[in-house]
């Protein structure tokens, strides 16, 4: 049975009288075979490329005029004078069709 450090979750070096963690420089008393692991640490690994490919644009329930799909990414921008409404740009999630509306 593998034994792991309770502080940093590093695999312990099994020695005769104790288990030793090289990362923390600590020795741990050996557990008898009756004891069980009651806590598990899970580390999520994500590469920079995976992180950058995640979609960060906001979504809205908007029907695409081309394919009829009900979800679209959107952005807003003030295209006209300040006393007029903004322009909302949409991009269909399914087909990528881009369209806009003035509000």
Which of helix, strand or coil describes residue 64? Answer: coil
- Residue 92 is labelled as binding a ligand: yes
The number of C-alpha atoms within 13 Å of 30 and in the hemisphere containing its C-beta is 9
Provide the 10 A C-beta neighbour count for residue 101: 12
- Residue 21 is labelled as binding a ligand: no
- How far apart, in whole angstroms, are the C-alpha atoms of residue 31 and residue 40? 17
- Residue 67 is labelled as binding a ligand: yes
Annotated binding site: 5, 8, 24, 64, 67, 92, 95
Annotated binding site for Zn(2+): 5, 8, 24, 64, 67, 92, 95
């Amino acid at each position: 049975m593998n034994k792991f450090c309770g502080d940093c979750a590093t695999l312990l070096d099994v020695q005769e009288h104790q288990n030793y963690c090289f990362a923390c420089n600590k020795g741990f008393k050996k557990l008898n075979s009756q004891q069980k692991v009651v806590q598990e640490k899970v580390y999520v690994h994500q590469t920079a490329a995976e992180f950058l490919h995640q979609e960060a644009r906001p979504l809205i329930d908007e029907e695409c005029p081309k394919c009829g799909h009900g979800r679209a990414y959107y952005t807003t921008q003030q295209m006209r004078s300040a006393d007029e409404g903004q322009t909302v740009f949409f991009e269909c999630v399914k087909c990528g069709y881009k369209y806009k509306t003035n509000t």
